A and B are shown apart, each in its own frame.
Chain A
Amino acid sequence: MTWNWEYTGEILPDLLSGLRYTVIATLVGYVIALILGLVWTLLRRTPYPAVNHAVRWVTEFIRSTPLIPQLYFVFFVLPSLGITLSPLTAGIITLGVHYSTYTAEVYRAGIADVPKGQWEACTALNLPKSRVWLDVILPQAVRRVIPTLGNYLIAMFKDSPMLFAINVAELLYAANRAGSVNGQFLEPMTMVGLLFVVVSVISSILVRRLERRYATH
């Protein structure tokens, strides 16, 4: 059993088209995670204990259960409620909602990290609530959490192969199909592994740059 370069070249276009879906799922899911995460965080700060506790338990539940059963849940249960989603849409939504519970925790820590004097200054200046959040707290909090949020983009990218479970045509799916059509798994699987390492190493270097750029301490 040796490495076959010709075969590697043949399957490469398939793998790259799979990579396209991986990237789409990761990026769109990330946008959902960023927005929904902020919604969770702000909901947890409302003055209604019922809302706070509900949000806390829902996010805790989503965060501590695995992605694959969640994918099954969204993909197989929602149709029986009358909502039919394509595998890719179901995958993107699940990935986004799953990671929104992580970004919520990041935002929470970022807001807690804003010095207390900033809040006191807002009170002293009698700023309205919307200006306190939009002009004072959030700009400082978001700046602090940008590198951490970058790490979660990488993490989402690495969790995207799980969409394989509901047959999204992403990178791993493409490699698996190429492997089973040709009866040769070594080349496609190794290529997928290498692609993942290359993309994550490059992106973690970029995140480290972000960390230096936005360093506050």
Chain B
Amino acid sequence: MADVLGSYNQWLAGAWLTIQLTLLGGALALALALVFGMAGASRHAWVRGLNRLYVEFFRGNATLVLLFWFFYALPLIGLRFTTMFAAVLALGLNIGAYGAEVVRGSIRAVPKAQYEATVALNFTPFQRMRRVLLPQAFALMLPPFGNLIIELMKGTAIVSLVGLVDLTRASKDIQGSSGETIAAFSVALVLYFVIAQMLQLFVRYAERRVDRMLGRRLPSEPSLGTIAAGAPGAGVTG
């Protein structure tokens, strides 16, 4: 155990890389989710088609397969990424596809009268989104987004298989050098758990703020509808 805890530099470096990947991947996923989610709520069929294409392809694929594809296959046709960039891209594109479904569902879940009111008030499409639909949809998006960011954090472990030294790889290295299998892998799991709990606290805080902003309360336990609309934690009642 002492050997395992003695190499805290490696643990910290690994944990930091995991956190970095989570934040960068999360930022990319959020941007993609908003763009493609709004595309999915569009009036034009071809814009909605764009959304389907993106969502079905990237949601249908395993993140690890995407990463291997970016890492091994694309350089052969001339697209070269650093490992870090390939990892952020794979994670962001995959979770972004789940997020796009959440955004689309949330926008559609805003009461129809709100939309009709914006039309009656002669809002431009931009004002409609920015001032009325998104602020209300945002409160619905937050709980599933919270699940997704934890899924993303868990997904970062795949980078250990392409040579980045994240928390998982660090635990494997430390296990190799110290020979203390139980301690090394237990510490890794506990650190992941701590990171997940921190993310959860952050999401809870954001949820409370948004609820206060809109002056409403959401149910504390996830309902079947929230769990239902997708794979791990991706969904919204719509």
User: What is the interface of chain A, defined by CB distance below 8 A to chain B?
Assistant: 1, 61, 64-70, 72-73, 76-77, 80, 102, 105-106, 109-110, 112-113, 144-145, 147-148, 151-152, 154-155, 158-162, 164-165, 172, 175-176, 179, 184-186, 189-190, 192-193, 196-197, 200-201, 204
Contacts and interface: CB of A to CB of B under 8 A. Distances in A.
A215 to B, nearest CB: 11
Contacts, number: 149
Interface in B222-238: 222-224, 226-228, 230-232
A92 to B, nearest CB: 17
A131 B37 CA distance: 45
Interface string B151-162: 001111110110
B51 to A, nearest CB: 15
A147 B228 contact: yes
B49 interface: no
B68 A109 contact: no
Given A76-B185, A158-B231, A189-B72, A68 B157 contact: yes
A109 B222 contact: yes
Interface in B116-152: 150
Dominant secondary structure at the A interface = helix
Interface residues of B, number: 52
B181 interface: yes
A72 B168 contact: yes
Interface string B100-128: 00000000000000000000000000000
A76 B175 contact: yes
Contacts of A184: 76
Contacts of A109: 221-224, 226-227
Given A160-B62, A165-B160, 5 more contacts: A65-B154, A72-B172, A77-B181, A106-B227, A197-B56
B64 A164 contact: yes
B157 to A, nearest CB: 4
B16 interface: no
B65 A172 contact: yes
Contacts of B87: none
Contact of A193 (B69, B193, B221, B228): B69
B46 interface: no
13 contacts: A61-B193, A64-B150, A66-B154, A77-B185, A109-B223, A145-B224, A162-B158, A165-B160, A185-B72, A186-B73, A186-B77, A192-B69, A193-B65
B33 interface: no
